[in-house]
Every structure is written in structure tokens, then in C-alpha cells.
């Protein structure tokens, strides 16, 4: 965690109905929950009164950002190997 905004995102509640923070979601994503449904089953995000209307898009963005970061890391490793 390097920037102030990342720190804020870590502690900010993403799923307000269930009081689940961005950090908890990221930990579950890193643990292998790579879809909204997997996160829903594992940490119960999106199961609150709003029916995920307030959180689903943010959570899906978080999953997408994580997958993109993995791709970037893999590309960096590949670039490093071939140089
Ligand atoms: S904010 Fe996540 S279910 Fe309502």
C-alpha cells in the first residue's frame, strides 16, 4: 500500500449494507474469489437490503483492476525474461 488514496480505499466501506471494506474485498480477491458471485458466497458482499445496487459495480471494478494488475505483472516478467 503506497498512496494515501489506496489507504483510504482499504478502509472505506464498499458494501455499505454489509459493512464490508475495500481491504476485505481485496483480500478475498487475492485469495481466489475472482467473480462477484464468488465474493458474495465467501464474504457476503451484495447480500444486503439494496440487493447490490450500490456496491456491485464498484466490486466488479475492483476485480477487473486486480486481474489487469496480474496481466501487467505477467507482461513485465515476460519482458524481463526476453531482454
Ligand atoms: S451496498 Fe452491498 S448489498 Fe447494499
Residue 81's pLDDT band (boundaries 50, 70, 90)? confident
- Residue ranges per domain, the chain? 4-82
- State the distance from the centre of ligand 1 to the C-alpha of 37, rounded, in angstroms: 13
Q: Quick: pLDDT tens for 23-52.
A: 999 999 999 999 999 999 999 999 999 999
Q: Report the CATH fold assignment for 4-82.
A: Arc Repressor Mutant, subunit A (1.10.10)
* Furthest C-alpha separation in the chain: 53
Classify the C-alpha dihedral 19-39-11-60 as positive or negative: negative
- C-alpha pair distances (Å), 61 with each of 57, 66, 76, 77: 6, 9, 22, 24
Q: Is the pLDDT confidence value at 1 over 60?
A: no
- Residues having CB within 6 Å of any atom of ligand 1: 15-18, 45-46, 48, 50, 52, 54-55
Amino acid at each position: 500500500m503506497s498512496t494515501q488514496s489506496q489507504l483510504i480505499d482499504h478502509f472505506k466501506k464498499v458494501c455499505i449494507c454489509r459493512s464490508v471494506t475495500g481491504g476485505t474485498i481485496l483480500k478475498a480477491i487475492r485469495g481466489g474469489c475472482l467473480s462477484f458471485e464468488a465474493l458474495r458466497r465467501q464474504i457476503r458482499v451484495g447480500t444486503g437490503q439494496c440487493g447490490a445496487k450500490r456496491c456491485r459495480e464498484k466490486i466488479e471494478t475492483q476485480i477487473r483492476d486486480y486481474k489487469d494488475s496480474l496481466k501487467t505483472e505477467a507482461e513485465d516478467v515476460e519482458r524481463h525474461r526476453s531482454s
